Chain A
Amino acid sequence: MASTRKFQLPFDRNEAAITWRVVKSSPMTLAGAVIAVAFVALAIADVVTRDAILPYNPYALTTQLLRPPSLAHPLGTDDLGRDVLSRVLAAAPIDAEVAFSVVGVAMALGLLTGGLAGYRGGLTEEVIMRVTDIFLSFPGIVLALAIVAALGPSTLHSIFALVPVWWPTYTRLARAETLSVKSQQFIDSSRAVGQRPSYIIGHHIFPNIFPTLLVYATLDIGNVILTYSILSFIGLGAQVPTPEWGLLTVQGESYLRSYPWIPIAPALAILVVAVGFSLLGDGLRDALDPRVRGTFG
C-alpha cells in the first residue's frame, strides 16, 4: 500500500494521539512513561535550580557519618556525612546527559549512513554495512572500555567511546527501513519528476524512517545509562566526587554488609530508570508497529 505521507514532522497529531492511546491502555507502558518523564524532569530541574531542589547539598560534608535511614535522611548518610538520597538524585543530570548525547549522535550517524546505504545500494551499501558488521561483532562494553582506556578516564571520553558501540545498530535499522520505504510508489514518483537523491533522502526517506528509530532510541536510553554506569563502576567514567550511579555504587561497595543502602540505592536507581525506558520503548514499538504486537517480546 502506497503511503501518502510526504512532508511532515516525525509525529503528526494523529499519530501522537494513537501513540498516547496505546501508552494509556497498557499499565506497564504507562509506568515506563511515568518513570522516563520523572527522570528527565528531575534532571532538568536539578540543572536549572543548581541542586536547590534536592533535600540536601549533595557535596556538603557533615559530621553525621553513616547514619541509618531516618525521616531526616530517608536513605541515610554516607561515610563523609553526605545525604545518600540527595547524591542519588543529583546523578540524574549526568546520566541523562550521557544517555541523550550518545543516543542522539548514534541515531544521527545511523540515519545518515543507513539511509545512504539503503538508498544508494551497490558498493556504498556494501562498504557501509561491512564496517557496521565489524563494529557490531565487538561484545558489549569491551570496545568502549578499550577506547576510554586509550583516551583516559572521563565522562566526555565515555561519550566518545560509547558512540562507536551504539551507532551500528541504528545504521542497520535505518538501512532496513530505508529499503522498505524506497520500494514505495511515492519515491518512484518523486524520482520521476526529477528530484535529486539528496532531496528525496532528506524529505521523503528520513521523515518516514525517523519514528522507528525514535522508538528504538527510547528503548536504548536505559541501555546507555547501564553501560555508562558500568564504565564508571570500573573507574573509567565519571570521576570522584561527581555523583554518578555506577561510581556511587562502587564507592559504597565496602559498606554493603553494615550499611547496605549506600551501594544499593544508586544501583537500584539505574535499574528503575532502565526498566522505565525499556517498558516505554517496548510499548511504543507495539504502538507504532501492529505487526509485532503480541508476537514478540
Chain B
Amino acid sequence: MPTLLGVTLITFLISRVIVPDPARTWAGFRATPAAVAALAARYHLNAPLYIQYFYYMGGLITGHWGVSPTSGRPVLSQISQYFPATVELAIAAIVITIIVGIPLGVVSALHHNGKYDHGIRFLYLAGFSSPPFFVALVIILVFGYVLNIFPTQGELSSNLAPPAHITGMYIVDSLLTGNWTDFVNSVWHIVMPATALALTVFGIVTRITRSSMLEVFQKDFVRASYAKGLAQRAVVYRHALRNALIPTTTVLGLLLGALLSGTIVVESIFLWPGIGYFALQSIENLDFPSIMGVTVLFTLSVVIANLLADVLYAVLDPRIKI
C-alpha cells in the first residue's frame, strides 16, 4: 500500500510538475487559450499541488485517467481496448519462458560449472543483453521472410473476421466460440512475438532455477532420497525441482516488469494491437495523458504481480507466513 501511494505520487509529479504547462499539453498544441483554461479549470490544474494530488488520486480510483488530446477519447477506455491483446501476448510469453527457462536452469545445475552450464550461461547473458528489437527482427527475418513459416504482422490474418468479443483475447474468444479457423490462425500469429519477448527474459527464470536447484542439492532430504535408493531422475524431478521452483515464483513480478517493457518494442515491430503499440503511437503524437495512463497501468500491474507472487510464495512454502 505505501508503495502504491509512492508510485502514484511520482507519476503525479511527472505529469504535473516536470511537464511545463500541463493544461496546454493535455489540450493539445492547437487548442485555443479558452479551451486550455477550461481544461485547467475542469481538472483543477490551477489548484495548489497537494489539492491536485487529491483530485489525481480520486481520478485514478474512479477511472478518470484523463482524455487523449489526439483522439478525444478517455484514456482508460482506449487502454481497455488495447489491454486484452497485451495480456494474451504476455501470457504466451510467460508460458514460453517457463518451457524454455526452467529446463535450462535444471540442466545448468546438473552440469554445474561444466560445458553445458557455461553454454547456457552464455545463452541467457546474450538474451538479457540483446535489445528486444534485435531478437524480433532476426526472428522475423528467419521464420517470417526466409523460411516463411509464421505471419510477421498482426493478431489475425486480415481476411478472417475476428471472433465474437468476450474477453478481447482472440485465442480465448475463438476457443470459447468454437471458431477453429480463427483459433489456429491467432495461435500461429502469436508464436513469433511471444518468442521474441520470451527470449529476452527467460534468463531470469533460468538463473533463479539454477541457483535454487544448487541450493536444494545440498539439503539433507536430497541426500536421504539418494540414500534410500531412488533414481537420479526421481530425486531431481520429484524432490529437488519441486522445492527449487518455490523461489522461481517470486521472480514473476520481475518477469512481468521486463515483459511489459519489452512489449512496447515487440508490439510495434509485429504491429500487435496491444498496449505497447498504443504507447508508441501516443509517443509519436506526444499524447501525454495516454503515456501517463500506460505508465500507471504498467506500474500498477507490476506492483500487484509482486504482491501476488509474495502470496503465492507463502501458499507454496508452508514455512513462510505473511
Contacts and interface: CB of A to CB of B under 8 A. Distances in A.
Contacts of A246: 131, 133
Contacts of B140: 256
A294 B211 CA distance: 10
A146 B295 contact: yes
A264 B6 contact: no
A275 B265 contact: no
Interface in A209-239: 222, 226, 229-230, 233-236
Interface stretch (B47-55, B66-74, B121-129, B222-230): B121-129
Interface string B1-30: 011001101110011001100000000000
A241 interface: no
Task: Count chain B CB atoms within 10 A of each CB in A133, A234, A235, A236 and give the residue with the most.
Answer: A234
B131 A230 contact: yes
Contacts of A28: 118, 122
A34 interface: no
B2 A137 contact: no
A125 to B, nearest CB: 16
A151 B283 contact: no
Contact of A150 (B7, B15, B137): B15
Nearest to B141: A260
Given A130-B6, A264-B141, A296-B211, A270 B257 contact: no
A28 B113 CA distance: 13
B256 interface: yes
Interface in A110-137: 130-131, 133-135, 137
A295 B207 CA distance: 11
Contacts of B7: 134, 137-138
A61 interface: no
Interface stretch (B158-166, B173-181, B241-249, B296-304): B296-304
A108 interface: no
A150 B299 contact: no
A146 B19 CA distance: 10
Contact of A267 (B134, B257, B303): B134
Given A131-B6, A267-B137, A149 B283 contact: yes
Contact of B261 (A130, A139, A147): A139
A interface, over-half SS: helix
A52 interface: no
A263 B137 CA distance: 8
B295 A145 contact: yes
A264 B131 CA distance: 11
A233 B283 CA distance: 11
A279 interface: yes
A282 interface: yes
State which size class the interface on B falls in: 35 or more
A143 interface: yes
A135 B18 contact: no
A236 B283 CA distance: 8
Contacts of A133: 3, 6
B207 A253 contact: no
A48 interface: no
A229 B264 CA distance: 13
A134 B129 contact: no
Contacts of A135: 10
Contacts, number: 154
Contacts of B262: 140
A131 B7 CA distance: 10
Nearest to A160: B18
State which size class the interface on A falls in: 35 or more
Contacts of B112: 294
Given A139-B258, A145-B291, A150 B141 contact: no
A234 B264 contact: yes
B14 A138 contact: no
Contact of B113 (A142, A250, A294): A294
B268 interface: yes
Contacts of A143: 10, 295, 299
Contacts of B131: 226, 229-230, 233, 245-246, 249, 267, 270-271, 274
Contacts of B125: 275, 278-279, 282
A263 B136 CA distance: 11
Nearest to B112: A294
A140 B257 contact: yes
B170 interface: no
A156 interface: no
21 contacts: A139-B257, A139-B260, A139-B299, A143-B299, A146-B11, A146-B291, A147-B18, A150-B18, A234-B265, A245-B131, A253-B269, A267-B133, A268-B134, A271-B131, A271-B134, A274-B130, A274-B131, A275-B125, A275-B130, A279-B125, A296-B211
Interface of B: 2-3, 6-7, 9-11, 14-15, 18-19, 112-113, 118, 121-122, 125-126, 128-134, 137-138, 140-141, 145, 207, 211, 214, 256-258, 260-262, 264-265, 268-269, 279-280, 283-284, 286, 288, 291-292, 294-295, 298-299, 301-303, 306
